[in-house]
Amino acid sequence: MGVKMEEIIIKNVKVFVTAPRNINLVIVKVETSEPDITGFGCATFTWRYKAVVTAIEEYLAPMLKGKSVHNTEDIWHTMMGSSYWRNGPVLNNAISGVDEALWDIKGKLANMPLYSLFGGKTRSGIALYRHADGNSIEEVEECISKYLEEGYRYIRCHMGLYGGNAGNVNQMIAKPEGAPDGAYFHPGKYRKSVVHLFERIRSDFGEDLELLHDVHERLSLADTINLAKDLEQFHLYFLEDALPPEQVDAFKMLREHTTIPLAMGELFTSPGEWKNVIQNYWIDYIRVHLSDIGGITPARKLADFCEMYQVKTAFHGPNDLSPIGMAAQMHLDTSIHNFGIQEYSGFTEEEKEVFPGCPVVRNGYAYLSDKAGIGVDFDEKAALKYPPVEMDFSWLFSRLPDGTAVRP
């Protein structure tokens, strides 16, 4: 391009919120002193997206203007340390948006897809798992059958989402007088329903299907151990988020009581949360959400750390993750040696319109394009067709039968 590396600086940092799937996505655009060189990153913390937007616009953008786009490591540490208090989902997502955009720029300057910058391909395709849910066993199995027809071989199964809220559980639970509104669930009934569900699935679909389940930190340690023991007979690919991040040391006891593979981490925001469970071999899969830990820069280091302890990746891939964020994860999936599985929620036609260049999926595998950088673009004009929406927060207000508020 005839431009010296040190002459390319950050000119502006912009933030966009769009909801092509009726889920608010936060996208960061880094503009540079070269008009043709821009980068995009995902900063989506959909449940607190306005706070992320403020953090970027009011704090990060002013301090980043004039910095070299090449000094990604220095910029990341500057962003992380400049608030003094650090490692929280709001600030980490803000940092991630910038970090991913800068890596997108690096790839474009090198004219390489990110996975090439990371060392190249270590696999030909990215194995995916999908979610099968329903209000009855029959509905769950219908969903499984649909995914099998589409070529998926790894399926996470629930009945009534997290905590087993199937069959209008709010009417089935005997609540005390004056109980507040909320998403009620019964831990004991949930445990029994999960075992019954997997008995039917194994009976109807056989042993070749790879099954997964997400406890979503809904149970006590004792109940979790009992559930894991009950599920061992079904040979799960992994059991996810069996305990909350605040109790990660309890994974030592869980590991001692079960042989079922354990996955953990979608709520992690700090190395202090994942260090012990990894280096003590208490988990088998790390499940972090890239933007919640601060983007690509820390995720690469985490993947390398996990490799030393035979822990594989299973990055968080919910529907409140933009296609840019999903593609960023998939560049790591493609290049790291210790990849395990990628959670995947699909792309709607509206998302493909706003985010040209989405990874393609065939027969249960995802494939990235060979475009430079992250490879997914952002159509600002199309994004305007899908403004921010008022989202349903009700599932986050979880309660036990007596009305006690608990983590969702």
What is the helix (H) or strand (E) element at residue 271, kind and residue range? helix 271-279
Contact 210, 155 (CB under 8 A): yes
Q: Which residue has the tokens 């995916």?
A: 128
Using an 8 Å Cβ cutoff, are 65 and 10 in contact? yes
Which residues, at least 6 apart from 386, have a Cβ–Cβ distance to it below 8 Å?
Answer: 18, 19, 20, 350, 354
Tokens 């953990």 locate to 264
The catalytic residues are: 162, 216
- Decide if 19 contacts 25 (C-beta within 8 A): yes
Q: Roughly how many angstroms between the first and final C-alpha of the chain, as a whole number? A: 50
CA distances, 257 to each of 182, 227, 262, 310, 328 (Å): 33, 11, 12, 20, 36
Per-residue DSSP letter, 90: H
**Coil, strand or helix: which one is 176?**
coil
Residues paired with residue 40 on neighbouring β-strands, in sequence order? 29
The rounded Cα 259 to chain-centroid distance in angstroms is 25
Which are the contacts of 96, defined by CB distance < 8 A and separation ≥ 6? 41, 42, 43, 290, 291, 292, 293, 294, 295, 296
Is the separation of the CB atoms in 51 and 45 below 8 Å? Answer: yes
Q: Which tokens hold the place of 304?
A: 């390398």
Within 10 angstroms of residue 55's Cβ, the number of other Cβ atoms is 23
